[in-house]
Every structure is written in C-alpha cells, then in structure tokens.
C-alpha cells in the first residue's frame, strides 16, 4: 500500500487529503473561502493567502486524524507546486517542505492541472483507460485541451486565448447580480430561462482547438446594460463592466440560459473536433466547470466515445486529486528537491517536470 498526504492551496481552497494507492480516499478536507471572497465577486489574492496561512495547520491535522494515520504510515508528501496564485501556492509549498524536512518523507511538487485530470481516478466506478484520451480541463483559471498518451505524458493542443470558462461564468454572474461563484448561480438561473432568447456568439479562433470567451462576455454586457458599453478592451472595458446597470426589461434567467448555451457549445464543438482529429478512445472532462450538467449532457450526446467526469464533489479544487496524481509520479521515480519553487504559470505538457 502506498499512502500519500497531499496539500492543495493554489487558489481559495485550503485542502489536505490522504489517499492510498492513487484510488482510495482515506480523508479529504477542504476549508472553503467562498464566503470571504463573495463580497468582491471573485478571489482577492492577498486575503486568500492570509486565510491559507491561518487554516493550513488545522486542515492537515484533521486530514491525518480522519485518515487514522501517523506520519510513519505515509510514503510521501505531495503539494500543488503550480499553477495558481503565487501567494496562495507559497503557503502550501512552504508548509509541505517543513513537513518533509521534519519527517524525512520524500516530497513531490505536483501540477494542479494534472491533479484535475486524476480526479477521475478517484471515482468509485472508475476503470483504467485505454490511451490516448482527450482531457478537457475547464475551471476558473484554466481552459485546456490535452492529449494524454500515457500516465504523465501529455500534449497540449489548445486552450483559451483570453478568459477561462469559469472566469467567464464569474464575470457574467457578477454582471447579472448573481452570487459568487458564478458557475453554479448561472446554472440555477438558467433552469427557468430560454436558451434561444439571445443569439450570443460562438467565437472562432485562429487555432483549431483554441477557445475564446472574452467576446461572449462583452456580448452579454452589451445585451443587458442600461447604457451602451464602452468600446474596446482593457481598462475601459473593465470600467464598463463595473458600472453597468441592467435594463428594466432584462430577464436574468433568459440571459443566463443563452450565455450558458453559447459557452458550452464552444467547449463541446472544439472538444468533438479534437477527439475526431486525434482519434482518442475517450474524453475526460475535469475542473470546476465540469460540474455543469449541460456541458456533460452535450458532450455525451455529441460523442460516440465514452465521456467521463469526476463526481461533483471532486470537480472543484481538492487535495485528493493531487494525491492521486502524485501516486503515479511517485512510482515513476519523481521526487522534488526541498528548494523547488512555486510556479504561478505552469502548462501541462510533455515536459511538465523537466528542469
């Protein structure tokens, strides 16, 4: 049996978990900061790192207690090395380094995106895939399309050129006056709306497998704002979003439904194109936006291939997925030196662990 304690602090969730053999969750503790950041309509980085520092010790202690293990029972310690908010990452990385130094256990710095992929390995009914597979990772900070040819072997073929899918959900949710995070709030509002009430754009990009949601977000702003929005991008556009007031005749449910339909269409069509062109055997959907029911339904209906996704409670950031990814890295001989650095940006690709 291989037991790994993992720590995850890439954004606004302080998490720790113990997983054995890359599949069995012995504990999975998540201290959410949603209420802390809700007043800002998004994650406030300085507050996030401070909250991590205040809670990480208690979260790790609880994870070990619920797993009914001591450090002598562990084989390794894993931690999210990146990508993410650098202040948040540093809290987890430094805490994990201290534990590794104190216990003598090997340390593994894990790519957060790889963790999302391996969240599927934690599903109770999961069976080992026949590679290659297409991995679609969609969350607040990432929208990535990857070909996974084997454990730890990836080729990035596309991704967002501007806003990530989850980021677009949050921004449109804030525009509509819905609570943070925007994804679940928009999904709830869309249930009573008409998806064809607005003809929002499905962006075309130069890259065959790239995505873009900035134009969709701007189209929603122009459709619902009382005053015409500022033209252009950058600072003027952000000011327009902050001061926008909804027109009196706006049906929020209709806007939410049409926006959700446009965004999930873009993800579905791009994924289907990639699955066909690269002749994959399955499509794996992961990340916070993978919890969206409409996206799951569209992918499953459009593809003759198996479409897999994690249980809802493993879609958002958690440490169990980091432990699952670390299990395969551990048995492949991967180890991290105690002086490794947190990485705010870190693409998941074939050379993900190259120096």
Q: Mention the CATH class of domain 3-120+313-331.
A: alpha beta
Whose tokens are 């619920």? That residue is 66
pLDDT band at 182 (very low <50, low <70, confident <90, very high): very high
pLDDT given for residue 141 in this prediction: 84
Angle between helices 252-277 and 214-224 (to 10 degrees): 160
Residue 297 has pLDDT above 70, yes or no: yes
Instruction: Tell me whether the CATH fold assigned to 3-120+313-331 matches the one assigned to 129-309.
Output: yes
Residue 42 has pLDDT above 80, yes or no: no
DSSP string computed for 279-344: T-S-EEEESGGGG-HHHHHHHHHH-SS-EE---GGGTS--SHHHHHHHHHHHHTT----TT----S
Residue 46 has pLDDT above 90, yes or no: no
Q: Mention the CATH class of domain 129-309.
A: alpha beta
Alpha carbon distance 69, 242 (integer Å)? 49
Domain boundaries in the chain?
Answer: 3-120+313-331, 129-309
Mean pLDDT of 33-40: 65
pLDDT given for residue 43 in this prediction: 73
Q: For 185-196, what is each residue's pLDDT tens digit?
A: 999 999 999 999
Residue 41 has pLDDT above 90, yes or no: no
Q: Which of 33-37, 105-109, 231-235, 241-245 has the highest mean pLDDT?
A: 105-109
pLDDT given for residue 21 in this prediction: 97
Q: For 302-329, what is each residue's pLDDT tens digit?
A: 999 999 999 999 999 999 999 999 999 9
Alpha carbon distance 204, 333 (integer Å)? 42
Mean pLDDT of 30-55: 76
pLDDT given for residue 354 in this prediction: 62
Residue ranges in 104-164 assigned as alpha helix (H): 112-118
pLDDT given for residue 235 in this prediction: 55
For residue 30, give the nearest of 73, 76, 63 by alpha carbon: 63
Q: For 48-96, what is each residue's pLDDT tens digit?
A: 888 889 999 999 999 999 999 999 999 999 999 999 999 999 999 999 9
Mean pLDDT of 339-349: 92
Residue 12 has pLDDT above 90, yes or no: no
Residue 173 has pLDDT above 60, yes or no: yes
Cα angle value 220/232/141 (rounded, 5°): 60
Classify residue 249 by its DSSP letter. Answer: T
CB distance 317 to 17 below 8 Å: no
Mean pLDDT of 152-181: 93
Using alpha carbons, list the distances in angstroms from residue 354 to 88, 152, 277, 319, 349: 23, 12, 28, 23, 10
Alpha carbon distance 269, 271 (integer Å)? 5
Q: For 222-273, what is each residue's pLDDT tens digit?
A: 999 876 544 555 555 555 555 578 888 899 999 999 999 999 999 999 999 9
Whose tokens are 């440490």? That residue is 319
């Amino acid at each position: 049996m291989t037991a790994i304690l993992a720590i995850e602090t890439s954004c606004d969730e302080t998490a720790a978990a113990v997983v054995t053999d890359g599949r069995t969750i012995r504990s999975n503790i998540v201290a959410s900061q949603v209420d802390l950041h809700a007043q800002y309509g998004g994650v406030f980085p300085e507050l996030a790192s401070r909250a991590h520092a205040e809670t990480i010790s208690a979260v790790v202690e609880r994870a070990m207690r619920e797993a009914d293990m001591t450090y002598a029972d562990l084989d390794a310690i894993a931690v999210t090395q990146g990508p993410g908010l650098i202040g948040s990452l540093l809290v987890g990385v430094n805490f994990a380094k201290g534990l590794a130094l104190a216990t003598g256990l090997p340390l593994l710095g894990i790519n957060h995106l790889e963790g999302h992929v391996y969240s599927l390995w934690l599903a109770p009914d999961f069976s080992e895939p026949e590679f290659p597979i297409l991995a679609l990772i969609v969350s607040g900070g990432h929208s990535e399309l990857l070909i996974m040819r084997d454990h730890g072997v990836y080729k990035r073929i596309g991704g967002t050129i501007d806003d990530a899918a989850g980021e677009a959900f949050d921004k449109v949710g804030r525009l509509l006056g819905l609570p943070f995070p925007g994804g679940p709030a928009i999904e709830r509002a869309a249930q009573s709306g008409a998806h064809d009430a607005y003809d929002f754009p499905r962006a075309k990009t130069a890259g065959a497998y790239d995505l873009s949601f900035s134009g969709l977000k701007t189209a929603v702003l122009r459709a619902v704002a009382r005053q015409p929005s500022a033209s252009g991008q950058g600072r003027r556009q952000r000011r327009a979003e902050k001061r926008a007031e909804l027109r009196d005749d706006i049906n929020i449910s209709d806007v939410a439904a049409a926006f959700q339909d446009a965004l999930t269409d873009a993800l579905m069509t791009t994924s289907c194109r990639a699955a066909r062109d690269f002749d994959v055997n399955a499509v794996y959907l992961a990340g916070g936006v993978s919890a969206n029911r409409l996206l799951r339904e569209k992918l499953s209906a459009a593809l003759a291939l198996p479409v897999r996704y994690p249980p809802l409670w493993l879609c958002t950031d958690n440490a169990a997925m980091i432990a699952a990814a670390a299990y395969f890295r551990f048995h492949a001989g991967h180890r991290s030196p105690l002086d490794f650095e947190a990485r705010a940006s870190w693409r998941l690709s074939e050379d993900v662990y190259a120096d």
